[in-house]
Every structure is written in C-alpha cells, then in structure tokens.
C-alpha cells in the first residue's frame, strides 16, 4: 500500500493518542488544498448513480443510503454525525476522531427520528457502531440506545467511519493515514450492515 503524504506521529501501536485539534486542523487544510479541485469537479456528477435525484440528496448520501436499510436492522446501532461548522472544521473533527478514537459530543440511535437519534442529516461524516455494540466504549454492551447528552470526550469503538459524497476524493488517502479504521463511502452502508449482522 502506498504511504500517505501527510505526516502523523506514530507509536508501536499505530497513531499516537492525544493528537490535538490544531494538528488535525493543519492536516485538514493540506487535504482540502490537495483534493479541493476534485471535490468541486464532483459537485455536478451523479457519483452514487442516484439517477436524477435532486442536488440536495446527492449531497446527503448518508441519509439516502440509511433510508434503504429497514429500521428493524438499524435499531442495533448507534452513531455520531459530524455536522457542525464549515468544511475545514468538519474535516479536522473527522481526522481528530480517527486519530484519537475519541469523540466529544452526542451519540444516539440511527433507527428512528427522535430526540434520541444520532445527527445523520447532512452529516459529512458518520461514526457508526458495530452490531449490538455501543459506540461509546464506557457504555455496557446492549445499551447502545443511550444518548450521551454531554460534551465530555469519550472513547469510541468504531465499527465504520462513513464518508459522505463531498469527501469521496479523500477516502483512499484516509485509508492510508488510518489503516486501523474501517473507512467506507456512504454508498457502502448497506453492505456494511449485511457484513456486520453476518458475523
């Protein structure tokens, strides 16, 4: 596998913990500079083969593909959506989560739309739990439905790190930077659910 051009501190166990947000922000700036032209070029393309869906749906592929999965299959998963602020800060937040395997903020169900749901609408990145496992490591197995209403930093047991359409050009770079993270495109969500429940 070709190495990434973006330098990250390494230890014998992989990426060094406690990577600062500022470090992630600097890498995010480099990534946006490198992949910005491809991102802009893809804006007018039907990358997911939606076949004529409106532009907004194209930009919200995570929600689109989650809708294809029955609620009874999704109710065994929790997630955290990266939705706030501009592209640079969302990308930096995503990089920081992948580096530290830790999240600050909310997680919730993806099965139903309620106050206990994860923020998936227009999320550029979605951190998804494993089947029947809580996303928040501190939670007890089977209690994956809990919604963490605080801004504390918590360890995440990441099943899949889902990338929305806009950031597809960076996916292969992400995989080189974070080989220990299961990074998938939004259009691979149905496949992820099938594989997880077949384990």
Give the model confidence (pLDDT) of 137-191 as tens digits. Answer: 877 655 554 555 556 788 899 999 999 999 999 999 999 999 999 999 999 999 9
Alpha helices of 43-178 — where are they, by DSSP H?
A: 55-59, 61-67, 71-74, 87-100, 171-177
Band of the pLDDT at 56, cuts 50, 70, 90? low
Position with higher pLDDT, 115 vs 193? 193
CA distance 69 to 146: 21
CA distance 138 to 78: 14
CA distance 141 to 35: 39
pLDDT at 115: 52
Q: Which whole number is the average pLDDT over 41-60?
A: 72
How many other CB atoms are there within 10 angstroms of residue 86's CB atom?
8
Q: Which whole number is the average pLDDT over 98-106?
A: 89
Position with higher pLDDT, 99 vs 114? 99
pLDDT tens digits, one per residue of 64-74: 898 888 888 88
Provide the token pair at 198.
Answer: 């077949």
Point out the least confidently predicted range of 12-21, 71-80, 134-143.
12-21
Asked whether the predicted pLDDT for residue 16 surpasses 60, the reply is no
Band of the pLDDT at 61, cuts 50, 70, 90? confident
Closest listed residue to residue 128, CA positions, set 84, 185, 177, 198: 185
Asked whether the predicted pLDDT for residue 113 surpasses 50, the reply is yes
Provide the token pair at 184.
Answer: 């998938």
Q: Which whole number is the average pLDDT over 45-70?
A: 77
pLDDT at 50: 73
Mean residue pLDDT of the chain comes to 81
């Amino acid at each position: 596998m070709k190495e990434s051009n973006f330098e990250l501190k390494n230890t014998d166990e992989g990426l060094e913990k406690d990577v600062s947000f500022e470090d992630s922000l600097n890498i995010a700036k480099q990534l946006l500079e490198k992949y910005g032209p491809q991102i802009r070029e893809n804006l007018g393309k039907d990358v997911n083969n939606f076949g004529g869906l409106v532009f907004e749906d194209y930009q919200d592929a995570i929600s689109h593909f989650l809708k294809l999965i029955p609620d009874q299959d999704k109710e065994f998963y929790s997630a955290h959506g990266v939705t706030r602020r501009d592209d640079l800060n969302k990308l930096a937040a995503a990089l920081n989560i992948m580096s530290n395997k830790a999240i600050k903020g909310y997680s919730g169900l993806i099965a139903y739309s309620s106050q206990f749901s994860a923020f998936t609408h227009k999320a550029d990145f979605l951190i998804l739990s494993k089947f029947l496992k809580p996303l928040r490591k501190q939670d007890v197995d089977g209690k994956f439905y809990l919604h963490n209403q605080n801004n504390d930093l918590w360890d995440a047991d990441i099943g899949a790190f889902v990338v929305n359409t806009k950031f597809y050009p960076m996916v292969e770079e992400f995989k080189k930077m974070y080989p220990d993270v299961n990074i998938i495109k939004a259009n691979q969500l149905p496949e992820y659910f099938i594989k997880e429940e077949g384990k």
